[in-house]
Amino acid sequence: MPQNYRFLISYDGSRYYGWEHQPDTEMTIQGKLEAVLARMLDAEGTELIGAGRTDAGVHALGMVANAVFETTLSPKEIKEYFNRYLPEDICVLEVAKAGDRFHSRYNAIGKTYRYTCYIGEDKPVFDRKFVYVPEKKPDVQRMREAARYLTGEHDYASFCAHAGKKKSTVRRVDLIEIEEKNGYLTFLYHGSGFLQYMVRILTGTLLEVGFGDREPESMRELLDAKDRTKAGFTAPAKGLCMMKVDYD
């Protein structure tokens, strides 16, 4: 009898075109996982549904996904099978049986993302695929002040790559935490959900505040404008990592 399984997955997104299937390439996280699933089941067509659609070059420590299929393998054996055949930059951390109604995307109530910059003196040779190195060091206190205007429930149309007319751009961001330690500058975001490129645009805008190009209180005007062209640059994908997905 078919069973719904829940997966916890980590991946280095550097060489992939994001999570979701793309028409002209096999280099997606979903595609690689489903190829192994098809091999395990000896059948094509079973979809592995992710909690979010991370963009090209974005990483994950805690992506959640689910799929419904029938197998005689235990969850432990499923995990071992996947990790035997997946490429070295994708790992299944956990596999567990889930309820019939569990849906990794629709049941998610919150997500945590981390964006990492390197502002130290030396080159981050071994972290270079996972950090963004800005040209100058930003003022952390100014960015924290600006972040206070950006938390809460707002229309984040100014911070969305493609704000469609039919889809709501209202979201709730509970936390924007900015920390500097040992040459690394991290932005931790938690919210009910995030729009396309939203975390990267928020980060780019906050960095511009840190550079002195914008004032912290100008965040109010950006939210009211609902115009992507008014906000800051989109921070590079490689600094972004999905950390955790929350469920009831």
Active site residues: 55
Report the largest interatomic distance among the alpha carbons of the chain, rounded to a whole angstrom: 60
Nearest C-alpha neighbor of 134 from the set 75, 192, 180, 74? 180
Measured CA to CA, the distance from residue 143 to residue 209 in angstroms comes to 6
Q: How far apart are the first and last CA of the chain?
A: 26
Of 232, 228, 218, nearest to 142 by C-alpha is: 218
For residue 123, give both structure tokens: 């080159």
Residue 58 exposure: Cα atoms within 13 Å on the Cβ side: 26
| Rounded CA separation 232/182 (Å) | 26
Q: Could you give the residue ranges of the DSSP H alpha helices within 6-71?
A: 29-41
